[in-house]
Structure 1
């Protein structure tokens, strides 16, 4: 037998052996079918890790399959809120502790929430923001703690800014319609960029950013000034439709849009302005004690729709808050199944 024939025969024997081994393994070593879904990483595994804020160029975002927003570098506010046809201007309001804005030192992104935290020698703060999937609701949960061995008296204030317009008949390109104190704009300017970049800074410490270079249209233009938080809160574009000890309802005079905040953990004072208001808590924390502050924001096309939302949600914060994570996890598991109820196909 020639060498060539021997090689050909050996090759056939090898291939046959591999095929036979695979067939046998189906009856022997793998007689019990494997759960292939165990190979799918959990949402925790694909989530972000804690990052130092001064090492990251972009902040974490939140979303709910309908809306989205970007965290700022303070501890609570959001910017670039969009949930077509609703568009949010500037930011949703910052928290102050003893008159100063705490700046996030670390943050972490999950699909279902954004986390921020910071610490000083006399207090520490951590915050979580979630959006209720497929609904017009944003939820904040903030924890202020006393890490010291002494009693700490703390004044906490939270601006609640509902600078939201409803552009139902507008096109929504990359430069979608955006509300400002002067009304709707489409071209991007550096106004919002400077508002965001100067959160927590006084006028003497302001920095000037030329433009939002992330806009691929090249439509951005430069302006020489931008509104401070007081100007945003007192913008004549908005008026208070209703207020009480825990709730604010704002109406946009330009588009007829409504936005509203509900404070779950009652403040000592809630002062109404125009596009929102300011809630204040006077807190005395014993050593290693903590204070939880929870509040929510919704938006709608009418005042009655706002109140309908609150009738469903205002007394159910914790159950809604927990359901956000569970919904994201169940949908994550579902999209890997053939013929699932979410996608026309499946992953991978």
Structure 2
């Protein structure tokens, strides 16, 4: 407007244009100028809209722009942002935005009147495009985007929904709970179950972070991170079960040895108490020690297996250290018991 409209005014106000017409003909002349401006501006707007719409025609598919959408995982599940409706509205709004331009071009009479009369209401050239024309262009864009978006939906379904929906729809949660409540499960089977979720997490990690399909660039970082977190959570539930079992085993080992220490160093007051003490210590030295040693070997093995996937607390490390060193600390206790008896 600031560049071409002053030139139009200057051209129409030249003497060679206006002196050709009598005063009663000037109105018709100015009306013709308004019609000419209207036609040219409308044609300009139509061309701008057509250039945008033509990008979505099949023969121009190589020139389509890429539109970025993100796959996300939220409380509503796996979905795209922006949503399809938002994307469609934004692309169609380009047509409305172009059509809304140059709607305030004053007629020549209005411009002249405003130059002399400050309060004169402005009159504008008709530059509004028909709704029918705009709807035709909009429908062209909508049809193409809807067809292209089918490929995006297929990608979401094939790469994520079909493979990993069980992580978020409650299936995995129920399965894990049922599995851990089964008394027949062992350390090996529970550890294997945890590893299966870690494997799932690794499968998710190697998927494309950005995938291009049709006219869409799909960002997958958010959904990958969300699904990995779900898989790691279920792996953690299984691991926590194993950690609890290790903790209970170590506590049991320490309790058993503490009892051995108490009995070994206890002073028997009667012959009956002495005989019970000797029997207990003898059993502790043979069968009891062997059983506890087997438990120590097993709990240490389990502990080492989990160190690759679980960060033990300092309390748990101190507890297992106490458990595995008990056999070494028990030897002097038995020797001291023998001295007391002798």
- In the superposition, the TM-score normalised over structure 2's length comes to 0.19
Higher radius of gyration, 1 or 2 = 2
- In the superposition, the TM-score normalised over structure 1's length comes to 0.18
